[in-house]
Chains A and B, each alone.
Chain A
Amino acid sequence: MPGARSKPAKRTKKLLSEENVLALGRKHFSEDFPNPERRGCPPIDQIRLLADNPRKAKESILNHVASCSPCYRDYSRFLQARKGKLRSKPVRHK
Chain B
Amino acid sequence: MKSTRGSSRSAMFLLNSVDRLGRTINPRVLAVAYEIGPRAVAYGERLLGDAALTMNLFEESAAAVSEALRRKAKDARPVRDLSAYLYRTFLRKISLARGKQTRLETSLRNNARTQFLARQPSEAEVSLLFDEVMATYDKVTQQIVYRRLEGLSWKEIAAEFGIATHAAESRYSRALANARRLLHIRRPRT
Contact = CB atoms under 8 A, between A and B. Distances in A.
Tell me whether chain B's interface is mostly helix, strand or loop, or mixed.
Answer: helix
A21 interface: yes
B130 A15 contact: no
Contacts of B151: 22, 83
Contact of B123 (A17, A24, A87): A24
Interface residues of B, number: 31
B150 A16 contact: no
Nearest to A50: B143
A83 B150 contact: yes
Q: How many residues of A sit at the interface, in one of the four size bands? A: 20 to 34
Tell me whether chain A's interface is mostly helix, strand or loop, or mixed.
Answer: helix
Interface string A66-87: 1000000001100110010011
Interface in B133-190: 134-135, 139-140, 142-143, 145-152, 156, 159-162, 188-190
Nearest to B188: A16
B144 to A, nearest CB: 9
Given A26-B149, A54-B147, 9 more contacts: A21-B188, A22-B148, A25-B126, A25-B129, A25-B145, A59-B139, A63-B134, A83-B151, A86-B159
14 contacts: A15-B118, A16-B189, A17-B189, A18-B188, A18-B190, A21-B129, A22-B148, A24-B127, A26-B149, A26-B150, A50-B143, A54-B140, A54-B143, A62-B143
Interface of B: 118, 120-121, 123, 126-127, 129-131, 134-135, 139-140, 142-143, 145-152, 156, 159-162, 188-190
